[in-house]
Amino acid sequence: MFFRIILVVAIYIICTGFIFGAEIDDPAMKFYLDKADSVFNSSTLFNKNLQFSVSVTSIYNKINYRGITDESDTTGFLIDFDNLQFVISQILDTAGLEENIFPSDFQFEKPWELNCRFFFFPRDTGAGDLAIGFAPIDSLRGRNPEGLVMINRNTYQIKSLYLHYLAFDEYEGMSREYQFSYENEIALLKSLTIQGCYFGYFQRRYFRQDILFKNYDLQ
């Protein structure tokens, strides 16, 4: 299922001409990426010296090679953020699946700080959110991610970021998708979806973890 999605995305990229894009030295591309980076760095909650708590729901699914969910677990957490660190103050509910844990780090690689090629979609209408794709140069494929970032064209706020790694730690493939919302010009992480593939005893196995954030309490 995981790689079927990736294949569909790859076909879409080829069919839409996505590969015929601009390099990072393109003035328009550089303008949008610089603006997005500046706005995000100044607005993201994790960069601010703030204490806050947030309710988190993590839904974890183990998926076999046929695309069928073998095990599923939903766990609720109450999280405190202080001194730039997350602390689990309470586990609200869990079915006890050991893989369904709260990630220790939510930092992500910013594609504009990596050696990547960047692309505009050729059929961009100039309205709504701006989609920018990126892919590592050939010599870095397998180490740096490829993916897609969605930017509000008027405010330069990052709406979502999709990162796909051909290899990641012990995983054969891994993707992370971050969704952001904005409140009083503060960027709040709304959801994080992690999908991956790894080798089981006799076949590949897959997982999907959906982490949902709600009820931010800024102190």
* pLDDT tens digits for range 183-217: 888 899 999 999 988 776 677 888 999 999 999 98
Give CA–CA dist 185/163, Å, rounded.
Answer: 24
**9-31: average pLDDT:** 54
Q: 162: pLDDT confidence band, cut at 50, 70 and 90?
A: very high
Query: What is the per-residue pLDDT for 9?
Result: 42
**104-120: average pLDDT:** 82
Query: What is the per-residue pLDDT for 15?
Result: 36
> What is the model's pTM?
0.81
Q: Residue 1 burial (CB < 10 Å; 0-12/13-18/19+)?
A: middle
- The pair of structure tokens assigned to 176 is 């992370």
Alpha helices (H) in the chain, listed in sequence order: 2-16, 27-43
The answer to whether 77 and 92 have CB atoms below 8 angstroms apart is yes
Give CA–CA dist 173/182, Å, rounded.
Answer: 30
Query: What is the per-residue pLDDT for 181?
Result: 92
pLDDT at 96 over 90: no
pLDDT at 58 over 90: yes
Count of residues making up the chain: 219
Query: What is the per-residue pLDDT for 108?
Result: 80
DSSP 36-94: HHHHHHHHBGGGSS--EEEEEEEEEEEE-TTS-EEEEEEEEEEEEEETTEEEEEEEEE-
Q: What is the DSSP letter of 34?
A: H
